[in-house]
Chains A and B, each alone.
Chain A
Amino acid sequence: MNRRQSLPSPLRNLLVIAALFALSTGAKAAELLNISYDPTREFYTEYNAGFAKYWKAKSGQEVTVQQSHGGSGKQARAVIDGLEADVVTLALANDIDAIAQNGLLPTDWQARFPNNSAPYTSTIVFLVRKGNPRGIKDWNDLVQPGIAVITPNPKTSGGARWNYLAAWAYAEQTLGKDKAKEFVGKLYKNVPVLDSGARGSTTTFVQRGMGDVLIAWENEAYLALKEFGADKFEIVTPSLSILAEPPVAVVESVAIRHGTLALAQAYLRYLYSQEGQEIAGKHFYRPRDPKAAAKYAGQFGNVTLVTIDDIFGGWKKAQTTHFADGGVFDQIYAR
Chain B
Amino acid sequence: MAGAIQDLTTVRQSTRPRRATEEGPLTRWTLTLLSAGFFTAFLLLPLGAVFAEGLRRGAGLYFRTFTDPATLDAIKLTLFTASIAVPANTLFGVAAAWAITRFEFRGKHFLSTLIDLPLWVSPVIAGLVYVLLFGSQGVLGPWLKAHHWRIIYATPGIVIATVFVTFPFVARGLIPLMQAQGSAEEEAALTLGARGWQVFLRVTLPKIKWGLLYGIILANARAMGEFGAVSVVSGHIRGLTNTVPLQIEILYNEYAFSAAFALASLLSLLALVTLGVKSYVEWRARQQLEQSQS
Report yes or no: A21 in contact with B156, Cβ–Cβ below 8 A.
Answer: yes
Among residues of B, the one whose C-beta sits closest to the C-beta of A78 is: B235
Report yes or no: A82 in contact with B136, Cβ–Cβ below 8 A.
Answer: yes
Digit string of B178-213 for contact with A (CB within 8 Å is 1, else 0)?
000000000000000000000001000000000000
Digit string of A88-123 for contact with B (CB within 8 Å is 1, else 0)?
000000000000001000000000000000000000
Report yes or no: B135 in contact with A82, Cβ–Cβ below 8 A.
Answer: yes
User: In the assembled complex, which residues on chain A have CB atoms less than 8 Å from the CB atom of B150?
Assistant: 24-25, 82, 84
Report yes or no: B159 in contact with A17, Cβ–Cβ below 8 A.
Answer: yes
Report yes or no: B84 in contact with A13, Cβ–Cβ below 8 A.
Answer: yes
Task: Given A24-B156, A25-B149, answer yes or no on A203-B240 (Cβ-Cβ < 8 Å).
Answer: no
B1 to nearest A CB, angstroms? 62
Q: Which of A61-80 contact B (CB under 8 A)?
A: 66-70, 78, 80
| Contacts between chains A and B (CB distance < 8 A), count | 80
Report yes or no: B152 in contact with A207, Cβ–Cβ below 8 A.
Answer: no
A257–B150 Cα distance when bound, in Å, is: 13
Digit string of A24-50 for contact with B (CB within 8 Å is 1, else 0)?
110000000100001001100000000
Q: Which of B84, B237, B255, B257 contacts A68 (CB 8 A)?
A: B237
User: In the assembled complex, which residues on chain B have CB atoms less than 8 Å from the CB atom of A102?
Assistant: 136-137
Max chain A C-beta neighbours (<10 A), residue from B91, B136, B138, B149 = B136
Report yes or no: B156 in contact with A41, Cβ–Cβ below 8 A.
Answer: no
User: In the assembled complex, which residues on chain B have CB atoms less than 8 Å from the CB atom of A20?
Assistant: 155-156, 159
A102–B136 Cα distance when bound, in Å, is: 10
Does any Cβ of A come within 8 Å of B148's Cβ? Answer: yes
Does any Cβ of B come within 8 Å of A161's Cβ? Answer: no
B104 to nearest A CB, angstroms? 26
Task: Given A82-B135, A207-B257, answer yes or no on A3-B201 (Cβ-Cβ < 8 Å).
Answer: yes
Report yes or no: A68 in contact with B254, Cβ–Cβ below 8 A.
Answer: no
Does any Cβ of B come within 8 Å of A133's Cβ? Answer: no
A277–B254 Cα distance when bound, in Å, is: 22
Does any Cβ of A come within 8 Å of B239's Cβ? Answer: yes
A230 to nearest B CB, angstroms? 15
Does any Cβ of B come within 8 Å of A83's Cβ? Answer: yes
User: In the assembled complex, which residues on chain B have CB atoms less than 8 Å from the CB atom of A38?
Assistant: 253
Q: Which of A13, A24, A66, A228 contacts B155 (CB 8 A)?
A: A24
A102–B201 Cα distance when bound, in Å, is: 54
Does any Cβ of A come within 8 Å of B236's Cβ? Answer: yes
A78–B235 Cα distance when bound, in Å, is: 7
Among residues of B, the one whose C-beta sits closest to the C-beta of A33 is: B237
User: In the assembled complex, which residues on chain B have CB atoms less than 8 Å from the CB atom of A84?
Assistant: 150, 153
Task: Given A24-B150, A78-B153, answer yes or no on A83-B87 (Cβ-Cβ < 8 Å).
Answer: no
Among residues of B, the one whose C-beta sits closest to the C-beta of A10 is: B91
Digit string of B80-104 for contact with A (CB within 8 Å is 1, else 0)?
0000100110010000000000000
A155 to nearest B CB, angstroms? 16
Report yes or no: A70 in contact with B159, Cβ–Cβ below 8 A.
Answer: no
Does any Cβ of A come within 8 Å of B145's Cβ? Answer: yes
Task: Given A13-B87, A68-B238, A203-B252, answer yes or no on A82-B156 (Cβ-Cβ < 8 Å).
Answer: no
Residues of A participating in the B interface, judged by any CB pair closer than 8 Å: 3, 9-10, 13, 16-17, 20-21, 23-25, 33, 38, 41-42, 66-70, 78, 80-84, 102, 199-200, 203, 207, 227-228, 257
Residues of B participating in the A interface, judged by any CB pair closer than 8 Å: 84, 87-88, 91, 131, 134-138, 141, 145, 148-150, 152-156, 159, 201, 235-240, 250, 252-255, 257
What are some 6 contacts across the A-B interface (CB < 8 A)? A24-B154, A24-B156, A41-B254, A67-B237, A82-B145, A84-B153
Give 12 new A-B contacts, CB below 8 A, not counting A21-B149, A67-B238, A69-B250.
Answer: A10-B87, A17-B159, A24-B150, A24-B156, A33-B237, A41-B253, A80-B136, A81-B137, A81-B152, A82-B138, A82-B145, A82-B153
